[in-house]
Amino acid sequence: MISPKRVLSDRRIQTPLLMVYDIMAIMLSYFMALWFRFDCMYSAIPNELITWYAIFCPIYAAVCAAVFYGFRFYRLIWSFVGYNEIMQILAVSVCMSLLHIFGITILFGRMPISYYLIGMCFQAILVAGIRASYRLFLMLRNKNKASEVTGRVMLVGAGSSGQMIMRDIANSDEIRDKVICAIDDNPNKRGKFIMGVPIVGGRDDILASVAKYDINKIFIAIPSATPEQKRDILNICSATDCELKQLPGIYQLVSGQVTLSDMKDVSVEDLLGREPIKTDMQEVFDFINGKTVLVTGGGGSIGSELCRQIAAHSPKKLIIFDIYENSAYEIQLELRERFPDLDLEVLIGSVRDSRRIFGVFEKYRPDIVYHAAAHKHVPLMEDSPCESIKNNAVGTYKTAYAAMTHGCKRFVLISTDKAVNPTNIMGASKRLCEMIIQAFDEKIKDGKANELPQLFTHSGIENADKDGTGNVFRGIDTQFVAVRFGNVLGSNGSVIPIFKKQIEKGGPVTVTHPDIIRYFMTIPEAVSLVMLAGTYAHGGEIFVLDMGSPVKIDTLARNLIKLSGFKPDVDIKIEYSGLRPGEKLYEEKLMSEEGLKKTDNDLIHIGQPIPFDVDEFLSELEGVAEAAYKNKENIREYVMNVVTTYHPADNTAEAGESAESAVRGELIMSPREAVV
């Protein structure tokens, strides 16, 4: 036996059955009209009229079914049939009834006027009624299951997407949710109803309505909202104890159907409320196409994403260089599976090993280098400061020198906002890297590349001027550029994965300081910026991203706890561990001496390099490198003499006041305000 549910869900069964029903309903409608016209007495109906009806009505009913099929009435999803669909069915039925009037009159003769009118009404009722009956059945059933409701839902967004979500909830057998009220910022909708649900106000009424209607779930159905608008709404909703879900974006509107399964959990990234960086990636990939590309640190979070995007756009060869074999192996397996035709080389080695890095450049002669290899963890580098200098500064110098002397066209250094007024040795080492890039750029542009010393290299293959003629330094046109990032969401060691692990264990969640703030960006944004810099570089630039407003880490932790379904300080404790060595409360994007100028992208700017004596810097850098290799305990003093903006952190209350000012925008200047 075929179940009613299967009939309603299987179109192969539904369509022919509905067509048979429509034909029979239409024939019955006009027979009833004729019967009523003659006082419900069949014997009183003239034989002539019965003959006309018997010949014309089956043909007319079949034509109606064909027209309904053309209007796709048999493809309607019964559970979504609403006012608009019913009105369309009624309009077509009336038009077909007019065809009945003219057809039977012209072909046979005039029927009683009541036959036409009653038949038209019956046809409209029977044809539309069968399609509306399932919705009516669902409404009655939902009233009966009201006592089983476990989720009391507030819907934010009373538009078409919100209406589809409400229908999906109402029509589901499994879902035990019920939409209690709706929120919409359109003042014309307030006080009205959507599918029987009251629209109780705008976003300012969310908190009060949650308490008033005992809401435990909030569904946000505003796919066309900007990230800033979503952030503001989510920040209000996150102040409640409700479970939050939202539609990811506007793409669902293309298909015209939105269901509850399209809803996703709100992520912390959604709370940042910033438009993603939009770059002309086609120009970037045209630049990469057919080139040999080397990614140092290619197994890391940024490096691996670089490799994915580069591999997708037909480089001549992609070389991944990393000291950590596990991550290098993982990205190798991924790329070989996704891009079987990619010419891929995965090499293990350290940028500190001059023989190894020079050998790689000698063999592969890369056209473009993305230098992502670095020690990045601030507390670890504070405990091992010499390693930070060896790996970050000296490693960058050796890689840059090898690139310059082996025909590389572009060298892109990945830097960090911690290089701005650094208070830790990691940030200071990255500022050294930026200064190295600037020094290389100036010497090359002045035609004095031969004056760049080969710091801490060995005799042999890495000796650039093997023949002593200096020819290797003629015609060098390598362009060096740095890209400065904030904190990258989801990267290795970033704060959010750490918080998630702590929440999974039941807490506590550790925050270093209640006032600590940071800028954030996503890995795809970071990679887009790196690749854009590699395309537009003219040499010596420091590209800077407008990362929007800074975010308090304490707020981030509390939001993440709420989004995980817990209450901060109740279910999951938050503990403050104190600032770690070398850590400061806020990060700046540029040093005060640096101005900004525009690029084609409003969110990407170029910092004007702080001038310094390159020859003096190179001489001092050699002393810093020597001190690092001798593992001198006073390495910070050497670095402070070179990076004059480096001041080891004094984690005092004074820093807290600076952070508070930074949040208010008094210390951290928006790039748009500083554009020159």
**pLDDT tens for each residue of 232-250:** 788 788 778 787 877 654 4
CB atoms within 10 A of CB 46: 11
Q: How far is residue 123's CA from residue 61's CA, in Å, rounded to a whole number?
A: 10
Q: Lowest-confidence range among 127-131, 135-139, 210-214, 260-264?
A: 260-264
Residue 387 has pLDDT above 80, yes or no: yes
| Triad 275, 280, 285: Cα angle to 5° | 130
Q: Tokens 């892109």 label which residue?
A: 412
Stretch (H or E) spanning 203 = none
Residue 479 has pLDDT above 70, yes or no: yes
pTM, two decimal places: 0.64
Q: What are phi and psi of 240, to 5 degrees?
A: -100, 175
User: Where is mean pLDDT largest: 227-236, 384-393, 572-581?
Assistant: 384-393
Q: How far is residue 31's CA from residue 40's CA, in Å, rounded to a whole number?
A: 11
Question: How many alpha carbons fall within 13 Å on the CB side of residue 122?
Answer: 20
Alpha-carbon Rg for the chain, nearest whole angstrom, is 35
Question: Chain-wide mean pLDDT for the chain?
Answer: 79
Residue 338: band (very low, low, confident or very high) from pLDDT cuts 50, 70, 90: very high
- Taking residues 19-41, what's their average pLDDT? 86
According to DSSP, the residues that pair with 596 across neighbouring strands are 607, 675
Q: Lowest-confidence range among 46-50, 338-342, 536-540?
A: 536-540
Q: How far is residue 447's CA from residue 201's CA, in Å, rounded to a whole number?
A: 68
Q: What are phi and psi of 453, to 5 degrees?
A: -75, 150
CB atoms within 10 A of CB 303: 27
Q: How far is residue 233's CA from residue 212's CA, in Å, rounded to a whole number?
A: 19
Q: Tokens 């629209």 label which residue?
A: 199
Q: How far is residue 337's CA from residue 35's CA, in Å, rounded to a whole number?
A: 74
Q: What is the dihedral of CA 416, 420, 421, 426, to 10 degrees?
A: 20
Of 592, 505, 586, 591, residue with least CA distance to 552? 586
Angle 113-144/160-171 helices, nearest 10 degrees? 70
Q: How far is residue 293's CA from residue 271's CA, in Å, rounded to a whole number?
A: 35
Walk me through the domains of the chain, giving residue ranges and CATH numbers.
Answer: 4-142 (no CATH), 148-266 (3.40.50.720), 281-465+474-487+519-549+586-674 (3.40.50.720)
Q: What is the pLDDT of residue 34?
A: 85
Q: What is the pLDDT of residue 513?
A: 84
Of 631, 645, 651, 616, residue with least CA distance to 388? 631
Q: Lowest-confidence range among 18-22, 85-89, 527-531, 609-613?
A: 85-89
| pLDDT tens, residue by residue, 183-229 | 888 888 888 888 778 889 888 888 889 988 888 888 888 877 776 77
Q: How far is residue 348's CA from residue 291's CA, in Å, rounded to a whole number?
A: 21
- Taking residues 528-541, what's their average pLDDT? 76
Q: How far is residue 550's CA from residue 196's CA, in Å, rounded to a whole number?
A: 42
Residue 626: band (very low, low, confident or very high) from pLDDT cuts 50, 70, 90: very high
